[in-house]
Amino acid sequence: MALSPVFTITPVVATALMAIEADRQVIMELPITVEILAGLRYSAQLAATHYSTQIEGNRLTQAQVEHVLAGAHFPGRERDEAEVRNYYKALEYVESLAAGDVPIGEETVQRIHALVMTGNPSLDPYRDGQNVIRESASGAIVYLPPEATDVAGLMADLFAWITVQLSRHELPVPIVAAVTQYQYATVHPYYDGNGRTARLLATLVLHRAGYGLKGIYSLDQHYARDLAAYYKALTVGPSHNYYLGRAEADITGFIDFFCQSMTGALAAVRAKAAEAAAKGTGTDDSAALRRLDPRKRLLLELFRSTGTATTAAMAAHLGLSPRTVNSLVPRWIEDGLLEIADASRRSRSYRLTPPYERLAMRQ
């Protein structure tokens, strides 16, 4: 059966859609340099990784998430660390698909889910048994998804619907993304990782349709601010059983929630981007910025406050062993990130090269 979502474009949604379009146009026209764009994108990726995993129970703070992505470890938080690293890989994969023209389909979603769960982009088959969503405190059934035998067909219907909508442009893009996220969560094609994958799939739809804004905003932070409202918006229909009304339920409430969340996210990034653009320095260090990974960004923070640093200081800041940092320093020098400030064998110290020093001062 073809997917035919039931919803109404309420005054709330209509207002949100107008605000989204207005902010989108302003952001696209801002004089954002490559340098500013890289900073905004990294902030959004960090926020998405932190809040999307936090929604599912991850206990790491945003600062700890950044350190984990740079290679640090927190004893007793190994599972949380793996979730963060895996989600970041999945997000990077989604963003790599943004400019492509391969239809969003089964292979796309199976690779996204595999990255979310294992960090490996192998094809991950759908569940082969029944899944039950229970309330953690009472154990009561919150949602009973469709049977495993129906999953493949329902997912194929969703992909066909997405393809039609992205080609015909009959519905506003935020609504297409909202329906995509809701329907994926409703089908619940895997035993675990469905929430994170659903949000990433909606992100991919937004990117493909010109609403990704180069990855400089994240909806997850707005969901996390009011999880009760998020879960309430997802819970529709007369029964927790998919076959007893959930499949035909009116999803206007979730579309309202999604569009309002997107409005808040774009308004926030519009203000941040405008402020950053107004501070434009006229110096383009884009080549250096393109080589920055999370670990190097943390080093910028260290050198911004200290000017010079030994390998021991870098190791402590990054949460790595001095031996590991000693092996990385020659590579960072070769990459043009560091140079020797003091060649003394006993207290050899390093500083940033001029391009990176300028970047550090602007963080």
Task: State the CATH architecture for 11-278.
Answer: Orthogonal Bundle (1.10)
What is the pLDDT, as a whole number, of residue 135? Answer: 85
Q: Are 173 and 131 in contact (CB under 8 A)?
A: no
Q: How is residue 173 written in tokens?
A: 């893009």
In order of 229, 244, 317, the CA distances from 253 in angstroms are 10, 19, 45
What is the pLDDT, as a whole number, of residue 272? Answer: 83
Within the chain, all domains assigned CATH 1.10.3290.10 are found at 11-278
State the 10-residue block means of pLDDT for the chain, 363 residues long.
90 95 90 76 91 95 92 93 96 88 93 96 95 87 95 97 95 98 97 97 95 90 91 90 91 96 92 77 51 81 87 88 88 86 76 82 64
Within the chain, all domains assigned CATH 1.10.10.10 are found at 286-362
What is the pLDDT, as a whole number, of residue 362? Answer: 63
Q: Are 311 and 329 in contact (CB under 8 A)?
A: yes
CATH topology of domain 286-362: Arc Repressor Mutant, subunit A (1.10.10)
What is the pLDDT, as a whole number, of residue 281? Answer: 47
| Rounded Cα distance, 325 and 99, in Å | 36
The number of CA neighbours under 13 Å toward the Cβ of 188 is: 20
| Rounded Cα distance, 177 and 158, in Å | 11
What is the pLDDT, as a whole number, of residue 342? Answer: 74
What is the pLDDT, as a whole number, of residue 282? Answer: 47
Q: How is residue 315 written in tokens?
A: 């190791």
The number of CA neighbours under 13 Å toward the Cβ of 342 is: 11
